[in-house]
Amino acid sequence: MRPPEPISRITLPASRAKLLAFAALFIILSAVVPLTIHQELDGQVDHLWRELLKPRLVVSAVALLCVFYLSDALRLWFTLRALGEHPPFRVMLPLVFINVLFSGVTPMATGGGVMQIWHLHRHGIRIGAATAATTLRTLLSTLMIFLPAPLVLISLDELVGSSFAGQWSPWLGLFAALYLAFFVLLLWRLRWFIHAATAMLALAHRMHLIGSSRQRRWRFRLRREMIRFGYSFRAFFKGRPADQLLALVSTAIFLLSLFSFPALLLWALGYRIDYSLVLAAMLVNTFAMYFAPTPGAAGVAEGIFAVLFASLVGSGDLLILTLGWRFLTVHLGMLIGVPVTLYEIGRRRRHAK
């Protein structure tokens, strides 16, 4: 494997106005995230905390959260190692919470991947390799969800004959096929994307949106990083089998821990549960969340979750189950993500002085 080429570091904006605007953005974000969470809980904060702070649930939840966050970091780390990149594992840990935060505030979780690429590039990973790693990490989890999800959706007893399955199964199946087809084209027909991006830059130049020098510079950088991206994709399949296997195993553990939070909450609420049924329901729920246009799938995720679990618990417990699941899997990570992101940006700024 050839060594990584030297790269120019991405630096934060140097002008005072841009720095002030950037700082203001994150100060607002720091205030908005807790406020948004409080509004989503809709006055049920006290009741939710009483249920979530039961000692046996706290201990179990902390253990499961450790597995959840560590496996999330490991799946990207092993993917990078299979690509021939060897960043320290400590670089991966902040990425977990940065990803949760920005995925939670952008439609279809698009912001998380962009911020991860930015963070990796700042730690010496080429943009093409970082993009390939985050894309492969997403592709591995997508395959594990998308391949069985349509079959589970039409075979799950709680959904068979329901309006949800009847109306949405064909559409979700179509979206899944298109989603996977996009990744196949990205892997095997990368030049199509290069030509399309080059054509868009040429169009922007003809419309006088960018100048000639900027068009040439952006075209060169775009082609260079997309070629590196394709090289990194191929490098994954030529990488160490141990790293490839561990990337798959850590992805499976990540998904299993993610799907286990409702089972943990049901256990804490005193329900005798069918664990395989909970896993199947969460597989369908996560599958549908991929296509939610709202930031962090807010509203859509809770609605589908309520439909899937309505037949398993009482209405009062369903509220606690839904809010607790959302808090543990998303809101908590977003809350941690705010100071982590602020620290990473501040630390980088101090080192740049």
At residue 38, the 3 state secondary structure works out as helix
More confident of the two residues 232 and 144: 144
**Averaged pLDDT of the chain:** 76
Determine the structural domain holding residue 259 and report its residue range: 57-352
Kindly state whether residue 39 falls inside one of the protein's structural domains.
no
Which residue is it, tokens 């809770």? Answer: 302
What are the CA-CA distances from residue 126 to residues 75, 98, 134 (Å)?
19, 19, 12
Which residue is it, tokens 């093409």? Answer: 128
pLDDT of residue 67 exceeding 70 = yes
Query: Which pLDDT score, from 0 to 100, does residue 2 have?
Result: 43
* Start-end of H helices in the chain: 16-41, 45-52, 55-82, 92-104, 110-122, 127-146, 149-155, 163-188, 190-206, 212-238, 241-268, 275-289, 300-309, 315-326, 332-352
- Residue of 19, 26, 16 whose CA lies nearest to 342: 26
Kindly state whether residue 172 falls inside one of the protein's structural domains.
yes
Q: State pLDDT tens for residues 243-298.
A: 999 999 999 999 999 999 999 999 888 888 888 889 988 988 888 777 666 666 66
Kindly state whether residue 26 falls inside one of the protein's structural domains.
no
Q: State pLDDT tens for residues 190-218.
A: 777 778 888 888 888 888 788 888 888 88
- Residue of 22, 118, 101, 77 whose CA lies nearest to 339: 101
More confident of the two residues 327 and 178: 327
Q: Can you give the pTM of this predicted structure?
A: 0.74
Kindly state whether residue 9 falls inside one of the protein's structural domains.
no
Neighbours of 134 (CB within 10 A): 22
Query: Which pLDDT score, from 0 to 100, does residue 14 have?
Result: 41
- Residue of 126, 88, 84 whose CA lies nearest to 240: 84
Kindly state whether residue 253 falls inside one of the protein's structural domains.
yes
More confident of the two residues 27 and 70: 70
The 10 Å CB-count burial string (b at 16+, else e) for 308-325 is: bbeebbeeebbbbbbbbb
Query: Which pLDDT score, from 0 to 100, does residue 349 have?
Result: 55
Assign 109 a pLDDT band (cuts: 50, 70, 90): low
Query: Which pLDDT score, from 0 to 100, does residue 3 have?
Result: 42
List own/partner pairs for 109-116 with CB under 8 A and 24 or more apart.
Answer: 109/296, 109/297, 113/138, 115/341, 116/76
Kindly state whether residue 120 falls inside one of the protein's structural domains.
yes
CB 172 within 8 A of CB 152: no
Query: Which pLDDT score, from 0 to 100, does residue 176 have?
Result: 67
- Please tell me the total count of domains within the chain: 1
